[in-house]
Amino acid sequence: MVKMTIPIKNKILENITEKGGLTDKELAKILVKNEVIITDNEFNKILLDLEIMGLISVTWMTKDTKRIEIVSINEKDDEYEKQIQESEDKDYEASFPGTE
């Protein structure tokens, strides 16, 4: 199951990026339509991971609905910060055995 986490995370991020922002229910429908089946717990964990990584922002709209938006990257980020992020991303991906 660990092997599938990275591609699912990428698919989720790709869908959020395409739309710019959407609700968790809209995103879940898109995933089902694309035959990506995950549990609610996995879905929420991936959203939390992406939010911790600073890629998305998740806010509550109503009691049962979350708004998910892509985080716009400030163009003033210096090259050093970008290199650090790229290095951290590579290290994270390399931490999963059997994936390349």
Question: Where along the chain do its domains lie?
Answer: 2-75
Please give the model's pTM, rounded to 2 decimal places. Answer: 0.65
pLDDT beyond 80 at 99: no
Reported as a single tens digit per residue, the pLDDT across 46-64 is 999 999 999 999 999 999 9
Write b or e for each residue in 16-31: b if 16 or more Cβ atoms lie within 10 A of its Cβ, otherwise e.
beeeeebbbebbbebb
Nearest alpha carbon to residue 51 among 89, 13, 84: 13
How is domain 2-75 classified at the CATH fold level?
Arc Repressor Mutant, subunit A (1.10.10)
pLDDT beyond 50 at 79: yes
